[in-house]
Structure 1
Amino acid sequence: MEFFLVTLASLLAGFVDAIVGGGGLVLLPALFAAYPTAHAATLFGTNKSASVWGTAFASVQYVRRVDLRWRTMLPAMALSFAGALAGAWLVTLIAPDFLRKLLPAVLLLVLVYTLMKKELGRHHAPRYAGRQELLAAGTVGLLIGFYDGFFGPGTGSFFVFLFVRWLGYDFLHASAGAKLLNLSSNLSALLLFALKGHVWWHFALTLALANIVGSLLGTRLALKHGAGFVRGVFIMVVSALILKTGYDAFLR
C-alpha cells in the first residue's frame, strides 16, 4: 500500500513540476511518510531517480514550442550541474535541518512579491543580452542548483521566480528555462546519490513512469494555456509550499 501511494504521489509530482516546479512538495513528503526510518539521502536519491525523467520529458516538450537562448541556457545548465553536485555531496555529510525554518519565510516573500506585482511574468521582455544574461542565468543555475542538491523543496519555483524577476522572462519562458536547469541539477544530484549508494533502484522504474505521465499532462496544459495559467499555478504551488514547509518546520 505504501508503494502504491508513493507511485500516485510521483504522478502528481510530475504534473505539478512540469508546469511550474515544486514536485518535491508532493513526492518527497510521501517518501518520508511511507519510509520514516530510511536515511534521508536515500529518499532524496530515490526522489531524483523519478523526477529526473519527468523533468527530461517536460524539457523536450518545452524546447519544441518555446524559443530559448541556448548560448545562455547551456552554460547555465553546466553551472546548475556543478552546484547540485556540490550540494548533494554536502547533504551526505550534514543534514540540511537549519533550512527548514528559513524556507517558509523565503517562500512567503516570493508569494507576496508575486501577488503585489500583478503584471510580473505576463510579458516576455528579457532585461539582458549577451554576457549580462549569461552571468545572470549562470548565477541562478549555480545557486539554485546547489540548493537543489542540498535540500530541494521549491527548486523549480525558485528557478521560475528568478527568471521572471531578475531576467525579465514571462512565466512560460521562465518555466521552460527552469526545466532545463532543473534537469541538469537533478542529473547531477542523482549521479552523486547513486555513486554513494543512496538510490532504491527497485523503486525507480515505476516511480519514473508515473512521473513521466504526470509530466506530459502538465506540460500540455502549460503550453496550451500560456503564461497567465503558469502564473496562477505558480501562486498555488508556492502557497502550498509555504503551508507544508511551515508545518514541517514549526508544528511537526
Structure 2
Amino acid sequence: MDILSALGLFLGSLIANTLASLSGGGAGLLQFPLLIFLGLPFTIALATHKVASVALGLGAAIKHIRAGTIDWRITGYVIVAGMLGVIAGANVILFVPGRIAEALLGILILGLGIYSMCKRTLGQTAEPRHRNSVGLLMGGMGLAAIGMLNGSLTAGTGLFVTLFLVRWFGFDYKQAVALTLVSVGLFWNGIGAAAMYVAGAEIYWPWIPVLLLGSLCGGYLGAHWATQKSNTLIKRCFEALTLLIGVKLLIGF
C-alpha cells in the first residue's frame, strides 16, 4: 500500500470509529466498504474489519474507565450474554450469502432510528427496570440474538445493543453507549474475529496496523466527546447514524 492509500485508510477508519464511539456503533458504515473499495474480497474485508474494530472498543474503554462511566457488573453480563451468539454468527456467515441478510438488517436499523426519533424522551434520563432475575434472563436472550447478528454481519449491530440497553434496562444514552463500546467493540468483536479466523476466514494482516491506529484513536476521541456532550446530542447522533446505515445496507455498497 502506498502512502496516499495508507493515509486514506487511516482517515476513513478514524472518522468511522469516532462516529461509532460517539453514537454507540456503526463503524462498519465507512470502514468495511472502504476495505472492499481498496480491493479486499467480502469475507477477507469482514474478518479484517472485525479485528480492527477491537481497537475501537479498547480506545473507548480507556476513556470511559478514566471517566468512571463503566459498570463492570453489567458489562460482564452483556459480554457473556452475547458470546455464544457471536460465535454462532461468525461461523454461519461463511456459508450464507450476505446480501439479503444485509437488506433485512438495513430495514431493522432504519426502524431503530425512526423509533428513537418518535420517542423524544427516550434515553434522556436513567430509569432502571428489568434488573430482576426474569428481566435479566429475557434480556440475555435478546442480547444473544443481537450477538448472532454481530458475528455474522458488517455494520450496525452495536446500535441494536445501545437501543436495547436504553429500552429494556432503562439506561440513558451515555450509559448505554459506554456499555456497548466496551462489551461489543472490545469483546464481542474480538470473539467474532477469533471465531471467523478459526473457522477459516482470511485476515489481511498488512493493513491491520493502520486500521488499529485509526480505530484506537477514533474510539478514544468519540468516547471523550460522549462523556462531555448531552444525552440529547448523543441521541441525535445515534438517530442520524441509524438512518445512514439503514439506507446503505438497503442499497448496497
Is TM-score (shorter-chain normalized) higher than 0.5? yes
1:221 maps to 2:221 = no
CA–CA distance in 2 between the matches of 1:47 and 1:87?
Answer: 15
CA–CA distance in 1 between the matches of 2:181 and 2:135?
Answer: 18
1:208 maps to 2:212 = yes
Q: Which residue of 2 aligns with 1:189?
A: 192
> Which residue of 216, 232, 236 maps to 2:240?
236
Q: CA-atom RMSD, angstroms? A: 1.9
Quick check: 1:18–1:54 contact (8 Å CA) kept in 2?
yes
Structure 1 unmatched ranges of 5 or more = none
CA–CA distance in 2 between the matches of 1:227 and 1:9?
Answer: 26
CA–CA distance in 1 between the matches of 2:15 and 2:89?
Answer: 26
> Which residue of 84, 87, 90 maps to 1:85?
87
Q: Which moved more, 1:76-85 or 1:116-125?
A: 76-85
Q: Post-superposition shift, 1:101?
A: 2.3
Distance verdict in 2 for CA 1:134–1:56, change over 3 Å: farther
Query: Which residue identity is paired with 1:33?
Result: F
Quick check: 1:51–1:186 contact (8 Å CA) kept in 2?
yes
Q: Which residue of 2 aligns with 1:131?
A: 133
Q: Post-superposition shift, 1:238?
A: 1.0
1:14 maps to 2:17 = yes
Query: Which residue identity is paired with 2:222?
Result: G
Q: Post-superposition shift, 1:141?
A: 2.7
Q: Which moved more, 1:60-69 or 1:6-15?
A: 60-69
Q: Secondary structure at the match of 1:229?
A: helix
1:72-151 equivalent positions in 2, closer than 5 A: 72-151=74-153
Q: Which residue of 2 aligns with 1:4?
A: 7
Q: Post-superposition shift, 1:133?
A: 4.5
Query: Which residue identity is paired with 2:192?
Result: A
CA–CA distance in 2 between the matches of 1:148 and 1:70?
Answer: 21
1:28 maps to 2:32 = yes
CA–CA distance in 1 between the matches of 2:162 and 2:220?
Answer: 19
Quick check: 1:89–1:192 contact (8 Å CA) kept in 2?
yes
Quick check: 1:22–1:156 contact (8 Å CA) kept in 2?
yes
TM-score under structure 1 length normalisation: 0.90
Quick check: 2:26–2:155 contact (8 Å CA) kept in 1?
yes
Query: Which residue identity is paired with 1:107?
Result: I
CA–CA distance in 1 between the matches of 2:138 and 2:68?
Answer: 20
Distance verdict in 2 for CA 1:215–1:69, change over 3 Å: closer
